[in-house]
Structure 1
């Protein structure tokens, strides 16, 4: 394969014996680099390289202006804005910056396309006026202000233009307009031949410059376009170049002369695979099959440049030489989230700090070597105290003396002062840099780049006075961060090339791999960040989405033009943004296949290899150490919850009661359901305890009702946190707890009104009783706390409170055989029977007894008694049947020959 640059140099050498004489202009700096390298290879003697420019560098040279970035342009525009607009009508910089960036983009387009500004803005103002025409004679204040804004645009534009020109600076479009104005002057002092190579979609300023240069016999143009596209008047790949040959007077008698490369033999694979990771892995598999000597002529072209990081992890390990032409976006590096957290703390800074922000910062990888002691102390303090909001002084008190300096820098308030905040961040960067180990070279590079960025921000703060608070500073920071990149270091022209679509201009590769060839990416679609209506753009020749589609068409076909092998990968996942639908370019290729018999096509849909995972239920043998723990647990007492947990899943019992592994202690920001249950239980305990042994009456219920709300609040304070319960979800749960208690007391009063005698015998009584089981030669106890024991109309009731929803079916037993195995059906029955059985072992009951549940979510059903075949009275036969099931369950737990075997639990979604 002979590349376009090689063909172009061959042609130029036929005209110019000395290649150092002409001036070369190319579309990108990347193309400049490749041309220089190619020229160096073609000479075997010492010589001077010619002047070689990217188009933007050349335009700056002709204009004689220095380009400024968008952020500086924004500040310059605001200075112009406040000098023109009445003070009472001025917007703050924060509001202004919300729309001004779009205006700057539109100014940029107007200048690059040499649109007469006054005429254009007057036309735009008239359009906006007609858009808001209506029958009423008078316009509203809102409409008046809206139309006034559009009428002010010419003033803003002209004032900004004048201000920048006077300082010899400009945004890109302004520089293009000035270069177009200066081209004749420039050419009069520089009569060298200017060779423009590989251009396609030229703005009006570029067209004017090239035409004037050709007209003065100072330029040649080499187009990188196959004749097969040029001759097809409907093919968008040649849309722009055909228009130049049709409309430029300097081409009036010239014929287009292109190559015939696209029709050559090509192997084209079209590969559909899901998600970004799937595409990255597909690229890795393709690269794995490419011989090492072919990698230097291979390019991976990312339609979506956010695929870069997954791709880097998917490159086969044997590929050592990789050149990445695009930079890694600075906002994608891990340290970016660290500085975003610092901004978040300041933007939310009140008298107290939100615990999640504090923990996120303490747990950030960037701080792992500088906050080791303080991190442990603070995390423990927050979790054990269930602290949702933490005071700054408390945070410092929990920090170690050695680390207090950095903790103060991280968490103290800057009082919404941008200068103070930037100063603190720069100190934090220096602190981290000084505490880095030698191995942390990557973090050192990250810190350096962020140090540069914050120094730029500090310079902006000192130059302009418009950043009045940290919110505005954050907006500017994010805008600047989005344009910053970390450049990769590598051999520019050796090994595998990874690049974006625009960087492929002028360059050719034998093997290409293009990713993300989906609608909305290639081409990019109709989205446009502009205030200019489509019809107005069309009228003045500004690019619309149709022209952008033609640009993408050119790039796509140019990538394929000289390659021998192409892999075109698209995302098949319909759930992703801009994905699921393959690009129209793929369909177009497939339709055109009949016109190119030398092309071979291979269509594939690939899926990542997913290993078959066989779910194996765990088994734990009862070793001597395990048996020691079981004996200890037996002696301390088996509770109903422990035994029913074994019924549910023996492995869970082993984890919790043998290994002693409980739930991770975390902050309970929203009151958990078990906390709600504890609060209700403890409230009722406190309300009823003074009346143990007494018969309840309406006056007692009335007294408890008046105390209920205060007691609920007190129990929340003791059980949950001293944090406020006056807002959000916690307020709702707090009200639910109060409602539960009040509804329960109403139920009690209703029972009294219906003639029931209610005597409270016991409240929250702890029980721990020994039990003798044949075959077990070590002590076994049963333990548990009974919520309430009452005597009503001569019947003793053992009552268990449940804040969840329980119905009668859950306390009904039809057969004893499954009582100790079927958790879903019988766990509630098992628990209340164990409570009754323990109390019976402790002190045998003399009166008829019942055991049951009061469900706070099902209070209308009242007391739900355990029943066996519809018989609610618990008799000696009931205890005998239950004790047999209980003893068998405990024997299984204590039997060293029966391992803990995991149960396959039911899928809650399948039932």
Structure 2
């Protein structure tokens, strides 16, 4: 396969042009590398390399101006803005930057296309005057300021461009305009210098003027790369610009138009693959490359062109391991580097001045991979210590001082991360630079394993140095929020370049990097509407009709640019693989691109069109089963001797594997910060409050007067227990305040219920409060003792009948403490767990002779207090429920103990594994 660049060089050689004396001007720097490589194949003897430059470099040299970054342009433009705007009406730099970037793009377009500035800006002002929404003669100040802004656009432009020219700097459009002004002088000073323009397509007015002027003065040659099939079809957008140049340039009326080729019509293997999602495309690119290698096709002349450059990392992760040589032309965005997330978190924390910080933000920062090691000092992991203290004490908001206390004042990094950011921008920048230095010092100790991380750090150090320079030179950054905006602007344009041999191996590039280059095998991804082509985007203050009137590019012309690039990739290729996302997404591209439909309708090539479905393996889900080995059985003996609690037994009924994790493996639930008081915390507070109230009344009858006295202590006691259980969590506002009020209401309502019972003539005697029970039960089948342990919330005597009472802050209904069949009590957790629990309490207290049968056992539900004491009941089923027996007798406990012992035997049975239940 011969390439366009090779053909151009051969043509120049055949015309006896001295290649060393030529200046080659190309659309991109990358194309220059390939041209230099092709020179070695064309030159028959050793020659000096010609001057090879990009069009931007040529125009910049012609203009005598230096191109500067978009961020610095914003600062320069703000200087002009505040000079021409009343200080009371001027926007802050942060607000200014949001609309100024769009205006700078418009300045750029106006200059590149050599539009008379006054005409277009005056026209824009007149349009706004016609369109404004105030029809009153007496316009409001807001309307006046709005219209005044549009009328000042020309003044902004004049002052701004003069300011830049005086400093010998400029944006691309200004550089192009100045270059056209200096063109005559350049031609006079270089009367014999020959220029070769090759591979261009869409040209702005400045470029057209420069190239045509050089052509007319016999100082240039142009080589276009367009296929006859495109240029002969007046409706084909791939040749939209080339047709205009051929028809409108006077030079081509008497001179040949080089070149119109016929490469596109040659036989090609073209395949289009619809694949779900972007990751699916990345994976399939890896599959295609693997298949190409299996077919013994060299990847030396293969290019992967990414329509969406966000696919770079997924594609790199999907490449076959057999690919040895690789060249990536696009840089790795700094915003995707791990350390970017650290500074994102820091700016998020500090952009709103505050002396207290949200615990999740703190944990996020000190847990970051670049920060965590800095908290490991003298074999003490202070990061873990801080996180555990936050979780244990429910610290939702912390100050920098508290953090320093938790780190024993031994870590200077806390000052850098959390102190002083709200004072000045200089301090914030200094903190960032110091943080980078601290991280570097740590990484230097293990340089061999951290070379990539050090490279990341170096690029961010450069970025913050640039921020410091801009802040020192322009003084427009007034607070951390503005600094964050500028940081984001810089970050979005910075990349970390890959190292590699540009001319070897597989090439991975973006669409624009493919200009002028030819490959035998091409894989193009993300060929979807909204990506290729990008569609109707209009990031401009200039209306569509004004652009058309002034020959400025609209979305149609921008689509035509990508149409050319897409078809040019296909011209000389033999194998073409086009991938698109079948899952429409309005944010990242819609349906299949019109380019694919156009290829199919043209009928030039037969398109192999397939929809690829990813291979999703069927993963057989199996329930977790743990056999009872000797160590497990020994652990169970220890648990049995220490004591099975009613809650642990019901936990086994609910899911045996959870019992195994908690009781055998001793895995505890991780204590997270309770931002909002959890249900179990509320329950603990209510239980502890009632314990404080009733414990002193043990052994005595209660009265209305006693309960009324207790009501006066509710606020103090509930507050005390919230502080004890919820630690330093805030209960003074938000949902926590509501839950605090609910706890008080629960206690108050319970005491009101007691008063109602007493006023109704009932006698209530407190027998025991929060009493511990530990009883050993005899199970002949087991050769080790078994203990049942548990704490009963309350035991009282109600009109002479002993009651065992369990408090529940959740909602419980009567049917939750009723059973029909004893065999189901250890099987169905959801229905019978509460019955199991209260019966266990009754069984323990009976064995320990703390109560005499018959008794009642049940639940008082704080969410269902109107139902009072919900008694356990055994129901006989005879068609309908004819009888309920609420008294717990010896028969009741005998039936229950039989099921309880069988449950414990199952738990300790070596032949019954712990088997997970389906949820």
Calculate the TM-score normalised by the size of structure 2.
0.94
Deviations 1:185-238 (A, max 9, x none): 222222323221111111121122222222223222211211111111111111
- 1:709 deviation in Å? 3.1
- Of 297, 317, 324, the match for 2:321: 317
- Of 723, 734, 737, the match for 1:731: 737
Does the 8 A contact of 1:832 with 1:852 survive in 2? yes
Give me the whole-angstrom Cα distance separating, in 2, the residues matched to 1:725 and 1:361.
Answer: 26
Give me the whole-angstrom Cα distance separating, in 2, the residues matched to 1:82 and 1:135.
Answer: 30
Give me the whole-angstrom Cα distance separating, in 2, the residues matched to 1:127 and 1:82.
Answer: 25
> Is 456-465 or 139-148 further displaced after alignment?
139-148
Unaligned runs of 5+ in 1: 907-911
> Is 73-82 or 863-872 further displaced after alignment?
863-872
Deviations 1:257-287 (A, max 9, x none): 4111111111112112222221111011111
| SS of equivalent to 1:785 | strand
1:874 aligns with 2:888: yes
- Of 876, 895, 899, the match for 2:909: 895
- 1:648 deviation in Å? 1.3
- 1:557 deviation in Å? 1.3
Match of 2:491 in 1: 481
Does the 8 A contact of 1:392 with 1:411 survive in 2? yes
Matches within 5 A, 1:627-776: 627-752=633-758, 754-776=760-782
1:374 aligns with 2:382: yes
- 1:134 deviation in Å? 4.3
Give me the whole-angstrom Cα distance separating, in 2, the residues matched to 1:180 and 1:695.
Answer: 105
Match of 2:881 in 1: none
Residues 729 and 274 (structure 1 numbering): CA distance in 2 closer, same or farther, change over 3 Å? farther
Residues 56 and 753 (structure 1 numbering): CA distance in 2 closer, same or farther, change over 3 Å? farther
Residues 238 and 400 (structure 1 numbering): CA distance in 2 closer, same or farther, change over 3 Å? same
Residues 585 and 742 (structure 1 numbering): CA distance in 2 closer, same or farther, change over 3 Å? farther
| SS of equivalent to 2:895 | helix
Matches within 5 A, 1:188-207: 188-191=188-191, 192-207=193-208
Does the 8 A contact of 1:324 with 1:497 survive in 2? yes
Residues 707 and 25 (structure 1 numbering): CA distance in 2 closer, same or farther, change over 3 Å? same
Give me the whole-angstrom Cα distance separating, in 2, the residues matched to 1:580 and 1:157.
Answer: 38
Give me the whole-angstrom Cα distance separating, in 1, the residues matched to 2:707 and 2:41.
Answer: 100
Give me the whole-angstrom Cα distance separating, in 1, the residues matched to 2:150 and 2:688.
Answer: 67
Match of 2:269 in 1: 267
1:4 aligns with 2:33: no
Give me the whole-angstrom Cα distance separating, in 1, the residues matched to 2:726 and 2:712.
Answer: 23
| SS of equivalent to 2:412 | helix
Residues 241 and 735 (structure 1 numbering): CA distance in 2 closer, same or farther, change over 3 Å? farther
- 1:858 deviation in Å? 3.1
Does the 8 A contact of 2:10 with 2:42 survive in 1? no
Match of 1:783 in 2: 789
| SS of equivalent to 1:323 | strand
- 1:675 deviation in Å? 1.7
Give me the whole-angstrom Cα distance separating, in 2, the residues matched to 1:587 and 1:370.
Answer: 56
Matches within 5 A, 1:455-854: 455-574=465-584, 577-579=587-589, 581-592=591-602, 594=603, 596=604, 599-752=605-758, 754-843=760-849, 845-846=851-852, 848-854=854-860
Give me the whole-angstrom Cα distance separating, in 1, the residues matched to 2:842 and 2:739.
Answer: 32
Match of 1:453 in 2: 463
Residues 704 and 231 (structure 1 numbering): CA distance in 2 closer, same or farther, change over 3 Å? farther
- Of 423, 426, 433, the match for 2:433: 426
Match of 2:116 in 1: 116
- 1:720 deviation in Å? 1.3
Give me the whole-angstrom Cα distance separating, in 2, the residues matched to 1:643 and 1:510.
Answer: 71
- Of 293, 296, 311, the match for 1:307: 311
Residues 847 and 395 (structure 1 numbering): CA distance in 2 closer, same or farther, change over 3 Å? same
- 1:668 deviation in Å? 2.5
| SS of equivalent to 1:290 | helix
Deviations 1:88-109 (A, max 9, x none): 2222222222222222122111
Calculate the TM-score normalised by the size of structure 1.
0.95
Give me the whole-angstrom Cα distance separating, in 2, the residues matched to 1:44 and 1:665.
Answer: 77
- Of 279, 282, 285, the match for 1:280: 282
- 1:576 deviation in Å? 7.5
Does the 8 A contact of 1:795 with 1:847 survive in 2? no
| SS of equivalent to 1:139 | coil
| SS of equivalent to 1:796 | strand
> Is 312-321 or 84-93 further displaced after alignment?
84-93
Does the 8 A contact of 1:29 with 1:53 survive in 2? yes
- Of 329, 341, 362, the match for 1:337: 341
Give me the whole-angstrom Cα distance separating, in 1, the residues matched to 2:727 and 2:465.
Answer: 43
Does the 8 A contact of 1:518 with 1:583 survive in 2? yes
Give me the whole-angstrom Cα distance separating, in 2, the residues matched to 1:702 and 1:233.
Answer: 96
Deviations 1:102-158 (A, max 9, x none): 221221112112121111111111111222244433222222222122112111111
Residues 132 and 741 (structure 1 numbering): CA distance in 2 closer, same or farther, change over 3 Å? farther
- 1:44 deviation in Å? 4.3
| SS of equivalent to 1:506 | coil
Match of 2:411 in 1: 404
Deviations 1:148-181 (A, max 9, x none): 2211211111110110011111011111111122
Does the 8 A contact of 1:687 with 1:708 survive in 2? no
Residues 665 and 225 (structure 1 numbering): CA distance in 2 closer, same or farther, change over 3 Å? same
Does the 8 A contact of 1:572 with 1:579 survive in 2? no
Residues 544 and 681 (structure 1 numbering): CA distance in 2 closer, same or farther, change over 3 Å? farther
| SS of equivalent to 2:207 | helix
Residues 483 and 110 (structure 1 numbering): CA distance in 2 closer, same or farther, change over 3 Å? same
Residues 389 and 844 (structure 1 numbering): CA distance in 2 closer, same or farther, change over 3 Å? closer
Match of 1:80 in 2: 80
Give me the whole-angstrom Cα distance separating, in 1, the residues matched to 2:586 and 2:899.
Answer: 55
Match of 1:138 in 2: 138
Q: CA RMSD in A?
A: 2.1
1:107 aligns with 2:107: yes
Does the 8 A contact of 1:519 with 1:578 survive in 2? no
Give me the whole-angstrom Cα distance separating, in 1, the residues matched to 2:850 and 2:439.
Answer: 70
Match of 1:37 in 2: 37
Residues 159 and 700 (structure 1 numbering): CA distance in 2 closer, same or farther, change over 3 Å? farther
Give me the whole-angstrom Cα distance separating, in 2, the residues matched to 1:304 and 1:258.
Answer: 30
Match of 1:909 in 2: none
Residues 63 and 774 (structure 1 numbering): CA distance in 2 closer, same or farther, change over 3 Å? same
Give me the whole-angstrom Cα distance separating, in 2, the residues matched to 1:734 and 1:274.
Answer: 50
Residues 844 and 452 (structure 1 numbering): CA distance in 2 closer, same or farther, change over 3 Å? closer
Match of 1:61 in 2: 61
Does the 8 A contact of 1:422 with 1:454 survive in 2? yes
Match of 2:880 in 1: none
Give me the whole-angstrom Cα distance separating, in 1, the residues matched to 2:359 and 2:576.
Answer: 52
| SS of equivalent to 1:679 | helix
Does the 8 A contact of 2:71 with 2:490 survive in 1? yes
- 1:490 deviation in Å? 0.5
Aligned length: 900
> Is 704-713 or 303-312 further displaced after alignment?
704-713
Give me the whole-angstrom Cα distance separating, in 1, the residues matched to 2:36 and 2:852.
Answer: 105
Match of 2:252 in 1: 251
1:395 aligns with 2:403: yes
